[in-house]
Structure 1
Amino acid sequence: MSDMPKPLSETDLSNMLSDAESMLDEASHGFWSLSRLPRPELWQQHPWADEVCGFWVIAVMGKSCIYYNDLSKGFCVGQFSKWGIIDDYQPAKTSLPERLNGLFAQRSLSKA
């Protein structure tokens, strides 16, 4: 029996995203609509994501992305310099609504 983490399927991720969308407040839902990818993409993050064949990226804002970390079972924010490759590893157990609400609040404060 292997201790290797099992990657989240695209179907399971889609179900998770649908559930999370229903919990977003109006402002965060607008932010989500502007930043989300039409379809999740598997991106590389060496060496951590090598264990699970990549992390699912679900949204992009500038040179930042929101991705699901299969290892920590949470949504993280990473930086990228090349499309398809996450530059930094972020372990987090943050839910998508928490992550989006936090990012929206952070961006709102920076514009004030």
Structure 2
Amino acid sequence: MSLSEKELWEVISINPEKWKEDEYGYDIEGFWVVAIYQEYSIWYNDIEEGFNISEYNGVDKVLNYASEQDELQWTLGKLIKLI
């Protein structure tokens, strides 16, 4: 993990919380959200075994399902490019 990714992680990480997701997360009672930054959340997809980015609007819910199989540092790098 790069220095910028580590610094970002220290600011945005949260204690993991299970959030609902309507399309694929219903049967498994949601997915684990591990970070929030502005209008984005980072969550772990138990089905695909990887991290993803979703839009965040203040409601504890994964709004955008994704099936990336990314490691956490890859997802942090993607978030840095978005912001």
Scaled by the length of structure 2, the TM-score of the pair is 0.89
Q: How many Å separate the matches in 2 of 1:65 and 1:88? A: 10
Deviations 1:49-89 (A, max 9, x none): 11211100000011210000011111000113242111111
SS, match of residue 17 in structure 2 = strand
Equivalent residues of 2:38, 2:56 under 8 A apart: no
Q: How many Å separate the matches in 2 of 1:86 and 1:92? A: 14
Structure 1 position 61 matched with structure 2 position 37:
yes
Q: Alignment identity in percent? A: 23
What is the root-mean-square deviation in Å for CA atoms of aligned residues?
Answer: 1.4
**Partner of residue 25, structure 2:** 49
Gap regions ≥5 residues in structure 2: none
The structure in which a higher percent of residues are strand is 2
Paired letter, 1:26: L
**Partner of residue 16, structure 1:** none
Q: How many Å separate the matches in 2 of 1:54 and 1:65? A: 14
Paired letter, 2:39: K
Structure 1 position 40 matched with structure 2 position 16:
yes
The structure in which a higher percent of residues are helix is 1
SS, match of residue 66 in structure 1 = strand
SS, match of residue 43 in structure 2 = strand
Number of residue pairs aligned between Structure 1 and Structure 2: 83
Structure 1 position 87 matched with structure 2 position 75:
no
By how many angstroms is 1:26 displaced? 1.3
